[in-house]
Structure 1
């Protein structure tokens, strides 16, 4: 829902995303488009093809585009943010809103305050997630409103994020940078340091996975997650937040002290350090339960996949979004093999094709998601079953019973009639006082249509119906 105060005759608020051709910019282009905003993107690389793929305009004439938009979002590298703000803010129209999506806040907010005209509102913003996250639901968005400069737009933007399922935190720029120096600065630094340490040791990670523990496995995944993303972004997060050097100093000092205790075999000193940290943490019991939940969810999904061998399963690829559906043939520690299910338009050489997929890239589709995919993508068989239903029976109630068959895409009443139609047998003519109903069943394309038809016919007979005409076979 579009909740913003500036709307045009089209009813849409216009948003310009500077850096909209970057990964995060693209993510928010989708976000705003899905909520009925009119989005334009711009990027220094002039990647018009990205805008075309997003199905939004590219601001080839940035000078003209800036005053045409109600919201201008700066989503560029941290070290280019202040320069970009200085360039675009003075050109914005009265009553519009300037936002930044940067990982630091003191400098960007100060730049917006300095360069944006007094009649342009400003709002510091930090989405605490990356572009690989599929939805904003459950994610944190930090907002930094500025006294006297955020009154009109701030409530609507907050409502937009909250109604989309995000958790919104309100803070000051200084408090943001202080907290984020640990939340991102320390976390990323520690994980990157683990990665570079493994590199220095020339350690065989692949071999080590044979000795894996749940905590080690999860730690490796998080290290790999950080190392696999844009290193320039992570460098700037470390270098542009003024609070990070102090955090580094404390971290390195603690590492040195712990290492010294280990080398000295000072068991009691090590224990004191660890207990002191636990007291400060003050939430170790909850942390244990939360981490158990994370570990157990991985185990549960793997067991579900293991128990699905021989069944039709669906898997969604985390990054490409592509869905793979087929009979699960084999499950290994790191990969699965499926026989790909033939969907509408599948080329003959693709049918019954074995494909290997890495488990780490996949999410198992739920039963409802798999059913929806099968419904939309398979070529289904349609059968008509014409019966005489018991006297005083309700054809809709019988329909409800038929639709419980999980092999059916749909079931509907295609015809009802009283009396004979000239094609009945002598036995059928004796029952002409009974209502005749034709149930049209649509059978999933990966099921044996004859068997499913027999199941439904048996059910109808069990409900007291009498099969009338030879069933028609349609669209097989």
Structure 2
């Protein structure tokens, strides 16, 4: 099945290129930057004749900045063949779906899609994908894409494009706006975020990390999410009005009014107990990794740096709330705890297999004739220092009571 991803050299384009490649699609990518080296790195073809690829593709996916999505759809859809699918991956749905319906010829199916994740996630497992199929114009392709995403572990939500934009104006529009405003407030106050980490609670630290997560991404994407969804401005107005109202209550030191507002909001929220339990799980997961690091002092562990991708392996010498000190042979390295992830035993073993030199030795042993050589092989394999073990020879001619077994151990 031939698939063209327009915007395939961008972050989400690369993610979905790899995803569809892994599911047997013949993927071709195109990007306005002309970065053919990105296509080379992914092992796919870069479309040198875009019009031809559009005409020949069974599926065309549009994953470009929101502000040019409609124009790209207008230029692309009319060229597509009968029985093919045009599909967008945009954060808003009404405008691109309407454009696909308008410009795609009869016989070309239309599917609006919004992956509720970014390109940093490793798999679809546990992720939400929102789909807006066009009734009567997606009978063939909607089940194919739905089942592919669902079988890959995604949770699928099916929703009308206009209703999607209404929900997303809060789910993304409000939350992004609030986080970005917290970040700009830090700047306005000339507030030292790094220094504040010395005094932070787990809840504050998680909140600050989410602010940093948003601020560290493509600002144009977040600008377009705010500006291209027509529902967002009225959400801003409601948010700013509530901020002003609550600020005035604080200024007047009206405790009863403050408690009334908070109690009413909690009643509208409804299930605050479940929210507490879910957030406790997030906090406890953060604490659990720190406690495991403390328990690992004096042991060999692997620490993956989240940003550089470098894995540091050595003996953990010291753990503080902010740093982990690792002894690596004749030198030590101090790593910030928020920048690293502790590898589990299987991950550490795989790293050693992939990165270290492993001598192989053939060792012969005399075992009782009634002993099981395979059981001994399994026992040897339990040693964490062993990469692999196999039986390469058995000889019973020494005596009736002894069996000679040769194990190849790496």
Aligned to 1:384: 362
2:199 is aligned, of 211, 214, 222, to: 211
Using structure 2 for the length normalisation, give the TM-score: 0.95
Aligned to 1:237: 225
Structure 1 pair 325–205 and aligned structure 2 pair: CA distance change class (3 A) = same
1:363 is aligned, of 326, 341, 366, to: 341
Aligned to 1:437: 404
Q: Which moved more, 1:123-132 or 1:375-384?
A: 375-384
1:294-353 deviation per Cα after TM superposition (whole angstroms, max 9, x unaligned): 01100100111122223221233434544333333333433434345xxxxxxxxxx755
Do the aligned residues in 2 keep the contact of 1:41 with 1:51 (CA within 8 Å)? yes
Alignment gaps of 5+ in structure 1: 1-12, 341-350, 421-431, 444-476
Do the aligned residues in 1 keep the contact of 2:367 with 2:405 (CA within 8 Å)? no
1:125 is aligned, of 105, 110, 113, to: 113
Q: Which moved more, 1:382-391 or 1:144-153?
A: 382-391
1:288 is aligned, of 276, 283, 289, to: 276
Aligned to 1:334: 322
Alignment of structure 1 residues 337-352 onto 2, 5 Å: 337-340=325-328
2:378 is aligned, of 394, 397, 400, to: 400
Do the aligned residues in 1 keep the contact of 2:369 with 2:403 (CA within 8 Å)? no
Do the aligned residues in 1 keep the contact of 2:368 with 2:403 (CA within 8 Å)? no
Structure 1 pair 319–133 and aligned structure 2 pair: CA distance change class (3 A) = farther
Structure 1 pair 361–136 and aligned structure 2 pair: CA distance change class (3 A) = farther
Structure 1 pair 304–377 and aligned structure 2 pair: CA distance change class (3 A) = same
Question: Cα distance, 1:418 vs. partner?
Answer: 2.5
Question: Cα distance, 1:356 vs. partner?
Answer: 4.2
1:85-118 deviation per Cα after TM superposition (whole angstroms, max 9, x unaligned): 0000001111110001111111100000000001
CA distance in 2, matches of 1:167, 1:372: 30
Question: Cα distance, 1:61 vs. partner?
Answer: 1.2
Do the aligned residues in 1 keep the contact of 2:317 with 2:325 (CA within 8 Å)? yes
1:218-274 deviation per Cα after TM superposition (whole angstroms, max 9, x unaligned): 110011111111111101100000000010000000001100111111111111110
Which is greater in Rg? Answer: 1
| Superposed CA RMSD | 1.7
Q: Which moved more, 1:168-177 or 1:363-372?
A: 363-372
CA distance in 2, matches of 1:324, 1:97: 46
Work out whether 1:265 is the aligned partner of 2:243.
no
1:55 is aligned, of 38, 43, 47, to: 43
Alignment of structure 1 residues 7-26 onto 2, 5 Å: 13-26=1-14
Work out whether 1:44 is the aligned partner of 2:22.
no
Work out whether 1:89 is the aligned partner of 2:77.
yes
Alignment gaps of 5+ in structure 2: none
1:22-79 deviation per Cα after TM superposition (whole angstroms, max 9, x unaligned): 1111111111112221111111111112112222111121111111211111100101
Question: Cα distance, 1:278 vs. partner?
Answer: 0.5
Using structure 1 for the length normalisation, give the TM-score: 0.82
Do the aligned residues in 2 keep the contact of 1:122 with 1:149 (CA within 8 Å)? yes
Do the aligned residues in 2 keep the contact of 1:20 with 1:41 (CA within 8 Å)? yes
Do the aligned residues in 2 keep the contact of 1:382 with 1:440 (CA within 8 Å)? no
Structure 1 pair 75–251 and aligned structure 2 pair: CA distance change class (3 A) = same
Aligned to 1:419: 397
Do the aligned residues in 2 keep the contact of 1:315 with 1:323 (CA within 8 Å)? yes
1:110-153 deviation per Cα after TM superposition (whole angstroms, max 9, x unaligned): 00000000110010000011112222211110000011111100
CA distance in 1, matches of 2:280, 2:323: 24
Q: Which moved more, 1:362-371 or 1:159-168?
A: 362-371
Structure 1 pair 211–23 and aligned structure 2 pair: CA distance change class (3 A) = same
CA distance in 2, matches of 1:55, 1:314: 30
Work out whether 1:74 is the aligned partner of 2:52.
no
- State the number of aligned residues: 410
CA distance in 1, matches of 2:107, 2:369: 77
